[in-house]
Amino acid sequence: MKLGLCLAGGGVKGAAHIGVLKYMEENNIKVDYISGTSSGSIVASLHAVRIYSR
């Protein structure tokens, strides 16, 4: 099964997404697809670069 994650827009939500992604990483929850809108897209792209450039 594949897991996708879509992050919402909004300044405060964008900051909250960082905490959610950190929690998911600490608990070994892997995301196969990630997308977002507005600030969510910024967080999604930064997360993708961080994870997939290792």
In tens, the pLDDT along 8-37 reads 988 888 889 999 999 999 999 999 999 999
Q: Are the C-beta atoms of residues 1 and 30 closer than 8 Å to each other?
A: no
| Beta pairing, strands 33-36 & 4-7 | parallel
The reported pLDDT for the residue numbered 35 is: 93
Helix 11-26 and helix 39-52, axial crossing angle in degrees, nearest 10: 30
The reported pLDDT for the residue numbered 29 is: 94
The reported pLDDT for the residue numbered 49 is: 92
The reported pLDDT for the residue numbered 14 is: 81
Helices then strands, counting H and E runs in the chain, come out as 2, 2
Q: Are the C-beta atoms of residues 6 and 41 closer than 8 Å to each other?
A: no
